[in-house]
Chain A
Amino acid sequence: MSRGLVIGAFLTLVFVALACVSFLWVPYDIETLQIPNKLKTPNLNHWLGTDHFGRDILSMVMMGARTSIAVALLAVGIGMAIGVPLGLFSAARRGSFLDEIIMRGNDLIFAFPSLVIAILITAVFGASAVNAIVAIGIFNIPVFARLTRAVALPLWERDFVLSARVCGKSETRISVEHIFPNIMNLMIVQGTIQFSLGILAEASLSYIGLGAQPPTASWGRMLADAQTLVSIAPHVALVPGLAILLMVLGLNLMGDGLRDRFDPRIKKNRT
C-alpha cells in the first residue's frame, strides 16, 4: 500500500470521524451565540478558539465537516446514480442514435463552467444546501457517464461478454451482471476524486453565501465571515481554511492511491 494512500485515508477518516461524532456530541452548542466570548485565541476551554460570535470553532469545524461531507456525498451520489447507467446504456448501444444523444448531451453540460452554473442555479432557486447538492450533482453526471462508457466499450469486445451473449442474455443483463462489476473499482476511484471536488464546490458556494444558510455551519461561510478578521484574529480564518485544505488533500491522496491499486490501465504501465 502506498504512503499517499495511507495518509489520504487517515486524513479523510479523521474528518469523517469528526462529522460522525458531531451527531452525538459537540463541545459547545453552535446555535447559542456567546457574544462576550468572541474572538478568543485557542485555549484549554476552546481548543481552536472562538469566532466573532463567540462560537467554539472546533464545534463549528465538526458541524461544518458534516455539511461538507453530506453535500459532497449526495452530489457524487446523484452523479453516479444517473451517470453510470447512462454510460452503461451508451456503451451497450454504442454507435446508435441514442448513444449520440446521450454523449452530446454530456458534452453540452461539460461545456458550461460548472461553478458559474451552480451559482446560477442557487441564485435562481434560492440559496440552500439542497440546491447546492443538486447544482454540484448535475455536473457529476457527465463525468461518470463518459468514464463508464469509455471503460465499458472495450469490455464489450471481450470473450466473457461474447459467451454471455451466446447464452442469450439481454444487453441490460450483460451490463448489470458482467460489465458493471468490472468497472466498479474505477467508479470508486473517480468517486473519491469527485468527492474532493464536491467539497471544494460546496465551500466555494457557501463562501459566496449560496450554500447552506445559517445557522447550519459550513467551512466556506466560516472562511467568508473571517475575511475581515484575518489581521485581528488569524485563527478564525486559518482553521476553516486548513480544514478544507486537509480534507481535499486527503481525498486526493486517497484517490490517487486507489487508482494506482485498482486502475488496470495504470497497473499495466507499471509492470
Chain B
Amino acid sequence: MHKLLLLATVGAVALIAGGSTAQTNITVAIQLEPPNLDPTGGAAQAIDSVLYSNVFEGLTRFDGDGAVVPGVAKNWDISNDGTIYTFNLHSNVMFHDGTSMDAEDVKFSLDRARSDDSTNAQKGLFAGITDVTVVDSATVKVTLDQPNGSFLFNMAWGDAVIVAPESIENIASNPIGTGAFEFSDWVQGDRLELVRNDAYWGTHAALETATFRFISDPTAAFAAVMAEDVDVFVGFPAPENLPQFEADSRFQVLVGNTEGETILSTNNKMPPFDNLLVRKAVAHAIDRQAIIDGAMFGYGTPIGTHFAPHNPDYVDLLANSPFDPVRAKALLAEAGFPNGFTTTLKLPPPSYARRGGEIIASQLRQVGINAEISNLEWSQWLEEVFKAKDFGLSIVSHTEPMDIGIYANPEYYFQYDNADFQALMVELNATADPAGRTALLAEAQTIISEDYVNGYLFELAVATVAKAGVRGLWVNQPTAAVDLTVVSWAD
C-alpha cells in the first residue's frame, strides 16, 4: 500500500516536472580558477580542468581510464623504424569560429608549441619532433629524430591541443577550439560558461550549457554542495566531509585515483639534504599511513617512488623506506647529526600539504629534526620554492601523468642531479618496445627510490561529489580534466 502510494506520488511529481525531459544544464565547481584560458601557454592545471576535451581537442586524447584514444585524428600509421607518424584527420572538424580544422592547423599548433620562443609549459612533449609536413588537407606527417614510445601519449596532453592561427591571438581570453562545447563567458572571480557546439563533428554533448564555479575554501565547498548550489564538485577539498555525502541519498560520491604523486619535496642541493644518509633518515622517519589517515581521512595509496600505483609499470618500493624512527636516528647519527638539525618546511594551501605538514613535522621531531613550518599561498610557493629554490622541505602533489622525467632535469626545484638517471631517461624516450620500456621504467623508479630523492608519501585520491542524477562523470583523473562531453542527467 505504502509502496503504491509512493509510486503514485513520484509519478505525479514527474508529471508536474514536465514528464521525462532531463535537465540540460549543469553547474560544476572546481577548486581553482584558471589564470587564463590558453592550455598551450599556461602551466596552471585549472585551464585543462575547464577546457580539456570540452573546448579543445588534440590529435589523441585521454579517456576516463587514462587510455590514449583518437582525438581529431581518425587513425594513424607509424613507419617501421618508429620515427614517422602519419595522422589521418577527421574531415568535418570545424573550429568554433566557423573556420575548418585541417592539416595546416595541426602543423601550426605543433610548430608553435616546439618553436624556440614557445611558452608551452610542457615543451618536452614536442622535443623529438624534427618536422611536421602537410600531405593533404586531411593528412599530416610528423617526423621524430628517434623512435618515441610515448609520442601518442604526449599528443593527448592538454598542452598539445590543436589551435587555429586565425584565433590564436586572443586565445587566453577567448579560447576557440574544436570541442563539443564552445566558450561563452568568463566573469573573472565568479564563473565561466560553456554552451553546446551544435556543429560538433562527433557525438554531440547531452548538456546544453555548463557553468564552472571556483571554490577553494573547504567550508564554502561543503556549504555549496549541501545547499545544492552546484551540481558537481570535482576535486572536493575536504575528505572529512565525504562520509556525510555518502550517507545522503541526494548525492553520489566518486573516489578515484589521480596521477598526483604527493611527495615531501627535498632540496637535494641544500645541506644537509645533499647527504644521502640524511634523506634516507627522513624517509624512515615518515609514517605514511598516519599521514593518509590524518590529512586525507584515509583516502590515498602509499607510494615508495615517484610513480602512479595504478599504472601497470609501477614497482612497489615501499620496502625501501618503512616507518622506523630508530633506524632514522641511527642514520642521522651516521650522517653526523646525532642531535638532529633545523630546516624549513614550506607548505602550499591544499589540506594535504597543510595537514600533512603538521603531521610530518611532528614525525620528524621524534627523530630530532626540527622542521619549521611556514604556510604559503600558491603564488608565494611558486616564487620561493619552485623558482628561487629557497626551501629545505615542502609538500606538493605532482599531478602530471607519467612525470618521472622531471628527475632528469637538474634545474627542477628539488635539484636532483644524477647523470645515470638522465642517461636512462634518454634511453627510455628512444625505446618504443613495451617490454623494454617496462624494464627501464622499473630501473628509473628504483634509482630515485634508493637515492631517497624526495620523501614519497602517497598517491592523491580525487573525490567528486555530484547530485545523484548526474551520469558519465570521470571517476579517475588521468589528467586534469572535467570531461563534460559524455555527461548527462538521468531522467
Contact = CB atoms under 8 A, between A and B. Distances in A.
Given A127-B374, A213-B374, A33 B240 contact: no
B219 A213 contact: no
A126 B359 CA distance: 22
Contacts of A209: 375
B218, B240, B361, B362 interface centre (most CB from chain A within 10 Å): B362
A214 B240 contact: no
A191 B361 CA distance: 37
Contact of B219 (A32, A52, A228): A228
Interface string A28-40: 0001110110100
B418 interface: no
A215 interface: yes
Contact of A52 (B294, B362, B373): B294
Interface of B: 218-219, 222, 238, 240-241, 243-244, 290, 293-294, 355, 357-359, 361-363, 365-366, 372-375
B240 A232 contact: yes
**Sorted from nearest, which 7 A-B pairs have the closest CB atoms?**
A35-B294, A228-B238, A35-B290, A33-B362, A227-B219, A228-B218, A214-B358
Nearest to B238: A228
A36 B240 CA distance: 15
A231 interface: yes
Contact of B222 (A38, A53, A213, A228): A228
A209 B355 CA distance: 13
A164 interface: no
Nearest to A36: B293
A214 B373 contact: yes
22 contacts: A31-B362, A33-B294, A35-B293, A35-B294, A35-B359, A36-B293, A38-B294, A52-B240, A53-B355, A53-B362, A54-B294, A213-B372, A213-B374, A215-B358, A215-B362, A227-B218, A227-B219, A228-B218, A228-B219, A231-B222, A231-B241, A232-B243
Given A127-B374, A213-B375, A227-B218, A33 B241 contact: no
A130 to B, nearest CB: 13
Contacts of A214: 357-358, 361, 373
A127 B362 CA distance: 20
A189 to B, nearest CB: 37
B246 to A, nearest CB: 13
Contact of B362 (A32, A36, A229, A232): A32
B437 to A, nearest CB: 38
Contacts, number: 59
Contacts of B238: 228
Interface in A17-59: 31-33, 35-36, 38, 52-54
A32 B367 CA distance: 12
B294 A232 contact: no
Contacts of B219: 227-228
Interface of A: 31-33, 35-36, 38, 52-54, 126-127, 209, 213-215, 227-229, 231-232
B486 to A, nearest CB: 31
A228 B290 contact: no
Contacts of B294: 33, 35, 38, 52-54
B240 A228 contact: yes
A229 B240 contact: yes
A214 B238 CA distance: 20
A33 B241 CA distance: 21
Given A32-B362, A35-B293, 5 more contacts: A33-B290, A214-B358, A227-B219, A228-B219, A229-B240
A32, A54, A228 interface centre (most CB from chain B within 10 Å): A228
Given A35-B293, A38-B294, A127-B375, A53 B244 contact: no
A33 B359 contact: yes
B377 to A, nearest CB: 9
A228 B241 contact: yes
Nearest to A53: B294
B291 to A, nearest CB: 8
Contacts of A213: 372-375
Contacts of A127: 374-375
Contacts of A215: 358, 361-362, 365, 373
Nearest to A229: B240
Nearest to B357: A214
Given A228-B219, A228-B238, A229-B240, A53 B358 contact: yes
Contacts of A232: 240-241, 243-244
Nearest to A126: B374
Nearest to B289: A35
Contacts of A31: 362, 365
A126 B380 CA distance: 11
Contact of B359 (A36, A53, A228, A231): A53
Nearest to A216: B373
B219, B240, B363 interface centre (most CB from chain A within 10 Å): B240
A30 B358 CA distance: 11
Nearest to A225: B355
A33, A127, A229, A232 interface centre (most CB from chain B within 10 Å): A33
A54 B291 CA distance: 12
B77 to A, nearest CB: 53
Nearest to A210: B375
Contacts of B366: 32
A36 B218 CA distance: 23
A33 B358 contact: yes
A12 B19 CA distance: 65
A229 B219 CA distance: 9
A123 to B, nearest CB: 9
A78 B397 CA distance: 43
B7 to A, nearest CB: 33
A51 B473 CA distance: 34
Contacts of A231: 222, 241, 244
Contacts of A52: 240, 294, 355
Nearest to B363: A33
A229 B297 CA distance: 12
A54 B294 CA distance: 9
Contacts of B375: 127, 209, 213
Contacts of A228: 218-219, 222, 238, 240-241
A31 B355 CA distance: 14
A231 B240 CA distance: 10
